[in-house]
Every structure is written in C-alpha cells, then in structure tokens.
A and B are shown apart, each in its own frame.
Chain A
C-alpha cells in the first residue's frame, strides 16, 4: 500500500489538472467543460480575495455559529478506560469530540455550502442545484439559498426521500424544490447523475453546489478548502486545551468531506495517526459502502477514484444504514491518501454504528448522526489500546435527530 514514494508534503495537491496522484481529473461531458473552467477561474480569484475570506469569516461566526467546540468527552473516555482495564491493558485515550453537529443546520455540510453560495453570488448565478443523500447537504443548501434569495432545486434518491423525511420537510419549509430521483438505485449516486443532467441542460444560469469532495476538478479541492475550517479550529483548540497537537484523528467517510476537513491541516504532522471510517453496511463480504476496502479504481461523476463495481465497470449498489455514507465511491484525495498509506481506512458495520449511537447518547447526552456513529464505533475499538495520554479527536459531523425514526425502527422493542 505504501510502496509508492512519499511526497515532501501531502498538502500540495491537486496539480493544475486536478489530479491527486492518478486520482481526480475532469471526466465530464463537453457541455459542462466551459462551466468547470469558469468555476475554476472564479474560485481561484475568490481564494485570493481578502474580501471573500472576510465574508466567509463573518457568516461563519454569526450565521453558522463557528467555531464549533472541541469538547472533552469525559464519560466516553472513562468508559473506554474501564473497557481497557477490564482487558488488562490499563490504557484508554483521552477523547475529544469536534462538535460539528452544533453548526446551524446540524452538520458540517454548511461550511462548504456557505463557500459555494458566496462563490455563486460572485459569479452572478441565480439558480442553485444540489444532490443530497442523508439530506444534510440539501438542507444546508436550501438554508443558504433562502438566506440569499436564490432558487434552489435539490435532487434526492427516492429511497433516501423515504428514509430521511424530516430533512425533506425542512427543505420544503426553506423554499427549496426537492426532486425525488427514480432512476437507477434511487440513492445518492443517482441523485448526483440527475443533478449533472440538470446542469448539462441549464448550464448558463445554474450553479451546481456539490456536497462532498468528489466530482470534477475543482470541486474536490474547493470543497476540501471550505471544510478545512474543521481541522484548523481543532489545531488551535487542542493547543489551547492541551498545549500540543492530537495523537490521532477519526472521522467517517462517505464522499469524505468532513474527514478531509479534519485531516488535511494535519497531514504533514506525520506522527499523527489518521483513521477514516467507511460504512461496512451488513459486512464487507455482503452489501456495504466501503469503496476503499472493497472497491478498485474507476471513473464516475467526473473523477477517477475507488468505486464499487462489477467485472464490467458497472457501478454496484452501495448499502449503509446511513444515507450519508451510502455512495459507491469516495473523494479522489482519499483514494490517493489510501494508496500513499498516509491515512488508514477502516470500516464499521450498521450494527456497530447503532451500538455506538446508543452508547454516545447515554454517556455524553449527545445524539450523533448515524454517519459519525461509524467513527465513534471505531473510537470504541481504538481508544482502549492507546495510552491514557493519547489525545484522540473524533469528528461528530452531524446530529442524530434526522435519524431517530429510522433508528427506532431498527432498535424496535429495545427502546420502548
């Protein structure tokens, strides 16, 4: 895995053609190429404009509610130290939660949407389209569109519309049009196909607000940059709390935007262990959504990355209890970090995530979304074997309110 030569820095990508190693690129229809190039140019200008950053900072503080706290999860820490002691190890890392679930709209998604909507305004685009899986990116997009008076159309797989009803209703309340996508497997990948079809059709006035670090260049880099606020704050907050950097980072991965946002500022601190947690669904030998653990390189949705597919390159159904992780691909930068061996990619099953959800709720009084519950599941596994002075940060990327009905269904009589 790490047989390749290591770069001097893991933070300089992508190259000018949007490649992270062999991953990334711009695999889109000709109709979209002029738009992609226009976006790249506009983003480059915005990135170098102090006024854009000042706008971002102001809305981040007053509208989103940043910075999000870095919280010492004391009872989770104690519990896992007991687990450690019970197995004769006398360890147990000190666990911190990065509280992205406290952001306005309840997840990390809004960090990226704010950036893209401010960019769309600079570009004079009046109509915003987005795809959504769990609905968190759709809600964030609908929210910012309401705030700035922009038309908003959100594509959502019909299956996801069914399992994430509270978010569908939220989007309606915010004035967005939610289009249930009936094609293919009716989940996130099909929502992305449909959003791309809309963009090809309405190319002149429409801005496509992609929700994760995937899609054609410049999206993976741009979305990452907007999410890096998570890792940058964590850096500062951990220095303030402990006087040093963390020893490990853990985050869940669907497309991988909350994870890259936490990881990226620390990639060159080579002593820091970094764990990305994919969704293993029913198990890696059954239906799952773990593209790195169970897939191989291919080309979909504008970039080369690891994909779940059959012998002929046909994309396979992903499965996860978490709609936000239910995607057969992963951001290209993660594919590269995987091949370089800088980030260790592991996975958690539906059941492990449900267990972690319950434990976190009862120990910390925090209902995590099912997505970060996957990360918590691996914290429960990793932390007991670490020494007590090991500082572990887990990104609580969203809150669990949206998942309550679904969780109740899964737990059945256990919760009544």
Chain B
C-alpha cells in the first residue's frame, strides 16, 4: 500500500457534487495547443461554463498509437504550432489561476514525460494545478515508471480498463489507480466505432465490484443522446474525438482558428451536458 494517499480532493469533490445533483459527470478531452495555444486555452476555460465537470487536456505526441485519425491530427496541429510539455503546463497554470475547482487531467503518452524527466514533470504538473494523469502506454506492469512516483507526488494516476481486462486482471489494473477509473467501452482506437451502449452498465457493474472509485466511460460517444445512454450506467461520460471533430470543422484551410471555433466546441459540450443531465440518477447515500 502507498504511504501517502494522492491529493485527489478536487476530483472527489467534483464527483460528490455530481452525485448530489443526481447525475453522471461529463468529462471532456481537448488537445493542448490545438489549433494554437491561446485558442486551446480559451476552449479549456469555456468547457466548465458549458457543462463539463472534469477537463482532460491532451499532451501532443507524434506517435499516438492508441488514437484514431481525429486525435492524431489534433496532436500534429498542436506540434506544428510549437506546442510542447512546458507550454502545456503553462496553459494549465493559466487555467488554474481562474478556476480552482475543476479537476484537470493530463492525458497522453509516456515518452514526452520521460524525456521531460519524471520527477521534474510531477513537480511542475502539481505546481501548475494538474490533478491527475492518464498515460495510455503505461500498463500496471510498468507502474514503477510513473504511476507510483505520481501517487507519491500527490497526483492521481487514472487507469484505463478495457473489455479485454478480465476479472483476473482487474485487481492489478485497479491497485494503484486513484481519482476514477476510465472504462474504454470498445477494443479499438479513439474516435472509432460507436459501441453498444446497452452493455456499458453491465461492464461498469463488473468493475465496481472491484473498486469504490467512480467509473467513467468513453470511446465512441459523439452526441447528447449517446451521452445520455452512457450516463444511465456510468458515473461519468468521456467525450474527446467528437469535440476535436467539431473544432476541426471550423478551421480554415491553413488549420487556423476562425470566429466559430470556440463556439463549435462549447455548443457540442452543452448538448452533451444536457444529455448527461437528462438522466436522473439516485443520489449517493
């Protein structure tokens, strides 16, 4: 067991608030620096106002092997504009200066963090106001690399559980997980097929038998109706590729933001938020 528990108060408080309101949480993902740093910061700031409860900020990477075309392209747009880990942490710092309550989760791949230096990254991320990390290519077998140091540093390490994570493996996946569990509803890459949302509740129940943590569900959620369907069975709904598609559709032929860029994202977030809020859930005891 860990000597220190991670400081996940912001995450816990947010799920507590959603439970009190009798609904699931809406978790949104956008890429840091896409299509440029200032626009991505403006989008990040607009998300909680549009109904997002937790914001995930993508760390761009050249070789995102678990992501579909939408997030691949978003990362490359950001990198082309010079986005790097230092700049991403700076955007989080500026977001946190105005919003002390919304949990910020950084999501990406290990190499940029490894190259930044794990200890330095954890200290800087914590100082910037980051609450948790999702690092796609670090399974429990590699917990020594970042997961355990992150928990020691007071950051939640949020793990992905998938349909291939069977009951035998679940305890290993959940052991050092903090904040919440992210259930990937399909075997596949982000933005791909829309899953059978009817099966989500069963899958979430299975995971909940192994953990007291909230379980959020993502991959394939594209609309308010999808969000409502997932909210029936989960503690939270994650949306990423659909928001990035909405953003991309507003860019000019040089991939620059236009007058409608921020609004296109917030409009979809409002729809998703309405979807999530349309499903009344039993408030926690």
Contact = CB atoms under 8 A, between A and B. Distances in A.
A414 interface: no
B110 interface: yes
A76 interface: no
Given A34-B165, A183-B72, A197 B137 contact: no
A201 interface: yes
Interface stretch (B22-30, B38-46, B123-131, B156-164): B156-164
A197 B189 contact: yes
24 contacts: A28-B139, A29-B65, A29-B66, A30-B160, A30-B161, A30-B184, A31-B184, A32-B164, A33-B169, A184-B62, A184-B63, A189-B63, A190-B63, A193-B63, A196-B66, A200-B187, A299-B111, A301-B65, A309-B115, A312-B86, A313-B61, A313-B111, A313-B112, A313-B115
B107 interface: no
B143 to A, nearest CB: 11
Contacts of A26: 139, 141-142
Contacts of B140: 33
Interface string A55-97: 0000000000000000000000000000000000000000000
Interface string B151-178: 0000000011111111001000100000
B165 A29 contact: no
B139 A298 contact: no
Contacts of B165: 30, 33-34
Contact of A33 (B116, B141, B184): B141
Interface string B82-113: 00111000000000000000000000011111
Interface of B: 60-69, 72, 76, 79, 84-86, 109-116, 136-142, 159-166, 169, 173, 184, 187-189, 192
B111 A309 contact: yes
A2 interface: no
A190 B62 CA distance: 10
B111 A29 contact: no
Given A29-B160, A299-B111, A315-B63, A203 B187 contact: yes
Given A197-B65, A201-B187, A299-B114, A27 B164 contact: no
A197 B66 contact: yes
Contact of A34 (B65, B66, B160, B164): B164
A286 interface: no
A202 B187 CA distance: 7
Nearest to B83: A312
Interface in A400-416: none
Nearest to A312: B84
Interface of A: 17, 25-35, 183-184, 189-190, 192-193, 196-197, 200-204, 298-302, 304, 307, 309, 311-315
B65 A196 contact: yes
Contacts of B184: 30-31
Contacts of A197: 65-68, 189
A183 B142 CA distance: 28
Contact of B139 (A30, A183, A315): A30
A200 B68 CA distance: 11
A313 B113 CA distance: 8
B111 A183 contact: no
A35 B164 contact: yes
Nearest to B68: A197
B124 to A, nearest CB: 14
A34 B72 contact: no
Contacts of B109: 299
A27 B80 CA distance: 26
A378 to B, nearest CB: 30
A193 B65 contact: yes
B87 to A, nearest CB: 9
Contacts of B111: 298-300, 307, 309, 313, 315
Nearest to B138: A27
B175 to A, nearest CB: 13
Contacts of A29: 65-66, 136-137, 139, 160, 162
B137 A299 contact: yes
Q: Name which of B62, B116, B140, B162 has the most chain A CB atoms within 10 A of its CB.
A: B62
A329 to B, nearest CB: 10
A200 B66 contact: yes
Q: Name which of A26, A27, A190, A315 has the most chain B CB atoms within 10 A of its CB.
A: A27
Given A184-B63, A313-B111, A31 B166 contact: no
Contacts of B163: 31
A179 to B, nearest CB: 14
A397 to B, nearest CB: 26
A375 to B, nearest CB: 28
